[in-house]
Chain A
Amino acid sequence: MLSMQHISKVYRTELVETHALRDFSLDVSDGEFVAVSGPSGSGKTTFLNIAGLLETFSSGTYMLDGEDVSGLGDNERSRIRNRKIGFIFQSFNLIPDLDLFDNVDVPLRYRGLKAADRRERIEKALETVGLASRMKHVPAQLSGGQQQRVAIARALAGEPRFLLADEPTGNLDSLMARQVLDLLEDINEKGTTIIMVTHDPELARRAHRNVHVLDGQVTDLKPFDGGTPAVVNAGAGGGA
């Protein structure tokens, strides 16, 4: 599904070079639910941005769904983001003056789908997250958990191959967080690959596999206390 080999990312300013990722390698198989953790500044977000094709990288190779995405141009990358990847952000990133329907509609618009097709997908996605009845509400009328569920609906509506979630429960209380996580597990069970960045061990434990990032590299497997031991080695497995 996803295979990163020896990726490195260097940020240059006039004064310093920062190695956000160095020789970063990770393979994720189809249908996996992977939690990525690490202290802040470790390179989690950079990893997520690169995985989501939001940023380019300095060297290495990245195969996504069997396609080498290393040298793709901006338009191609936009297209892949639109079709294969769903994003879920810590701060939801809903557009405040669009109602739920229009919010979920955004990525579908860029795919150029027919109106009827879009409507069907939007309704289905909102149904999946249990908010079909509030289609005409704007985000401000919803609780944080509901907003995040809208964001998940937006990610799902495009029927992506995998979801990238960045601290999806970071802004939520524990009850809501649990509901969101339940939802993600459901989605994963239906076959969508999920990569979730989090530093909450509780959340990480529910993933199939935990990856720990430190100083821009994947460190040795470090299972959480009492967690299900992960089976897959970082760097092993190969592209799916």
Chain B
Amino acid sequence: MFFYHMRMAIKSIRRNIVLSALMVAAIGIGIGVCMTAITVFYMMSSDPIPYKSDSLYAVQLNSWEAPGPYDADRPERLPELLTYRDAKALLDSEVPTRSVATYRSGFTLNPDNPDVSPMLVMSRFTTRNFFSMFDVPFLYGAPWDEATDRSGDSIAVLNYSINEEVFGGENSVGRTVELAGREFTVVGVMDRWEPVPKFYAVFNGAFEEAEEVFMPMLLNESWERQNYGNTNCWGDTPMNGFRDFLDSECTWVEFWVELNDAEQKSRYQDWLAGYIAEQKRLGRFPIENAGAEVHDVNEWMDYNEVVSADFRVLVGLAFMFLAVCLLNTVALLLAKFSGNAARVGLRRALGASKAMIFRQNLVEVGVIGIAGSLLGLGLAWLGLQGVRSINLGHYDRLVQMDANLVLFAVAISLLSAIIAGLYPTWRICQIPPATHLKTQ
């Protein structure tokens, strides 16, 4: 019977080819637009480290000074970053399973290979737990050891792509690279690692690529390379040189801790409160109720609006768009089915039950839905190419469809087609068999 329904559906579609094409187009375009928006949104808001995102916490301390709040428009907010001295002090806490301080910099890399010309690399100063906390995979070697965290030796971990570029992908552990004029020994090479979004440092481009070179944070106290990224300062103590900057009240260091349960978390919050109280005695943390906050990975993404309001608005619009397309389809289907009333009446007279008529029309709606969803997938693909082209190469990594999304697209379009088709199909089943038989 299914094939009979199918054959009748195709005949019916061909009978109203323009109307049917319009329906397919409406569903297709609706799905295409919606899926384009959803894909970008899905990638933007995906959990970058799902198996432990609820045990990694970004730490904020309110070291800001009165009178003005840190963020004048949203006074409840704390600085997103820590001062260097606080970051160093927090590293000493034994409460968290792991603690990591990190900030970004960039400089020239001069390979000892004369065939490779000097290049610029983005780098990250951090502590060794960075790699274990964020589950960074290693191709060769390993992170530096704890002693290096304290000694600040000139050693570096390279990421996959820079190791390809400089050493042709070989095991470069033990080799040296010249960074901004200083010689560094490679201790480890990371495998490919590109979290999307770049959750451990969402400022200045949450969707940019991960840094290429990682090195011990302490080393920069004497090396004095400028930090990149947001730096917010207060106070009227004059600064002369990098040493003063490190001691200043400027906030610029990202700080993460790993807390595995609620008890550990509350113990850490107590510890932070103690730290602030102690600093207050030293005359720092001048705000009366200066506090600390911790946010897990997903809270942190929300807190920092990694998915911009613009994109949320677009997703909202995309769903309204889909709604319009579906209304359109329902209206067209109603019209089309009303044109079928005589036929349906006849089939009813000849003994078709309501259920049979329902199935027949559902098959027809299904055919239109599948055609629409195929078109929609194609359009979504085109749409993603479009998004890629207008973002000036910025969101490349966001506009890929994975199997999940394709399945979702097929599901949403079939569902849409069925929702759109259900009412007209139900309506047509209500046609009494006796009408339309007498005259046409």
Residues on A lying within 8 angstroms of B by beta carbon are 45, 49, 52, 54-55, 74-75, 78-79, 81-83, 87, 89-91, 93, 95, 97-98, 106-107, 109-112, 154, 158, 166
Q: List 9 A-B pairs, minimum CB-CB distance, nearest first.
A: A82-B351, A54-B434, A78-B353, A107-B350, A49-B434, A81-B351, A54-B433, A110-B351, A110-B352
Check B11 against A54 for contact (C-beta < 8 Å).
no
Chain A residues with Cβ below 8 Å from B74 are: none
Instruction: Give the number of A-B contacts (CB < 8 Å).
Output: 69
6 contacts between A and B (CB under 8 A): A54-B433, A54-B437, A82-B350, A109-B1, A110-B351, A110-B352
Q: Find B438's partner among A52, A89, A98, A112 (CB 8 Å cutoff).
A: A89
Chain B residues with Cβ below 8 Å from A83 are: 351
- Across the interface, name the chain A residue whose C-beta is closest to B4: A109
Within B363-421, which residues are at the interface with A (CB < 8 Å)? none
Check A106 against B350 for contact (C-beta < 8 Å).
yes
Chain B residues with Cβ below 8 Å from A89 are: 437-438
B15 at the interface (CB under 8 A from A): yes
Min CB distance A104 to B, Å, is 10
Chain B residues with Cβ below 8 Å from A107 are: 350-351
Docked pose: A212 CA to B348 CA in angstroms: 28
Residues on B lying within 8 angstroms of A by beta carbon are 1, 4, 11, 14-15, 342-343, 346-356, 432-434, 437-440
Check A87 against B11 for contact (C-beta < 8 Å).
no
Min CB distance A53 to B, Å, is 8
Docked pose: A179 CA to B352 CA in angstroms: 30
Docked pose: A95 CA to B437 CA in angstroms: 12
Check A74 against B350 for contact (C-beta < 8 Å).
no
Chain A residues with Cβ below 8 Å from B343 are: 95
Docked pose: A81 CA to B350 CA in angstroms: 6
Q: Find B354's partner among A75, A91, A111, A158 (CB 8 Å cutoff).
A: A75
Q: Which of A52, A110, A154 has the most CB of B within 10 A?
A: A110
Check B351 against A79 for contact (C-beta < 8 Å).
yes
Besides A49-B434, A74-B354, A79-B351, 6 other A-B contacts (C-beta < 8 A):
A52-B349, A74-B353, A78-B356, A79-B353, A91-B439, A95-B343
Docked pose: A109 CA to B4 CA in angstroms: 8
Check B349 against A90 for contact (C-beta < 8 Å).
no
Docked pose: A126 CA to B348 CA in angstroms: 22
- Across the interface, name the chain A residue whose C-beta is closest to B7: A102
Q: Find B437's partner among A74, A93, A98, A154 (CB 8 Å cutoff).
A: A93
Chain B residues with Cβ below 8 Å from A110 are: 347, 350-353, 356
Check B351 against A111 for contact (C-beta < 8 Å).
yes
Docked pose: A151 CA to B4 CA in angstroms: 20
Check A95 against B346 for contact (C-beta < 8 Å).
yes
Min CB distance B343 to A, Å, is 6
Docked pose: A155 CA to B14 CA in angstroms: 27
Chain A residues with Cβ below 8 Å from B14 are: 97
Chain A residues with Cβ below 8 Å from B11 are: 97-98
- Across the interface, name the chain B residue whose C-beta is closest to A76: B353
- Across the interface, name the chain B residue whose C-beta is closest to A49: B434
Check B350 against A154 for contact (C-beta < 8 Å).
yes
Chain B residues with Cβ below 8 Å from A49 are: 434
Docked pose: A56 CA to B350 CA in angstroms: 16
Docked pose: A79 CA to B208 CA in angstroms: 67
Min CB distance A35 to B, Å, is 18
Min CB distance B355 to A, Å, is 7
- Across the interface, name the chain B residue whose C-beta is closest to A50: B434
Evaluate whether A87 and B353 lie within 8 angstroms (CB atoms) in the complex, with A54-B432, A55-B434 already known. no
Chain B residues with Cβ below 8 Å from A54 are: 348-349, 432-434, 437
Docked pose: A79 CA to B432 CA in angstroms: 15
Chain B residues with Cβ below 8 Å from A112 are: 1
- Across the interface, name the chain A residue whose C-beta is closest to B429: A74
Docked pose: A160 CA to B15 CA in angstroms: 31
- Across the interface, name the chain A residue whose C-beta is closest to B14: A97
Docked pose: A119 CA to B401 CA in angstroms: 49
- Across the interface, name the chain B residue whose C-beta is closest to A93: B346
Docked pose: A52 CA to B438 CA in angstroms: 14
Chain A residues with Cβ below 8 Å from B342 are: 93
Docked pose: A218 CA to B244 CA in angstroms: 114
Docked pose: A155 CA to B11 CA in angstroms: 23
Chain A residues with Cβ below 8 Å from B347 are: 106, 110
Min CB distance B427 to A, Å, is 16
Docked pose: A22 CA to B224 CA in angstroms: 106
Docked pose: A236 CA to B196 CA in angstroms: 88
Min CB distance A169 to B, Å, is 15
Docked pose: A78 CA to B347 CA in angstroms: 10
Chain B residues with Cβ below 8 Å from A55 are: 432, 434
Chain B residues with Cβ below 8 Å from A81 are: 349-351, 433
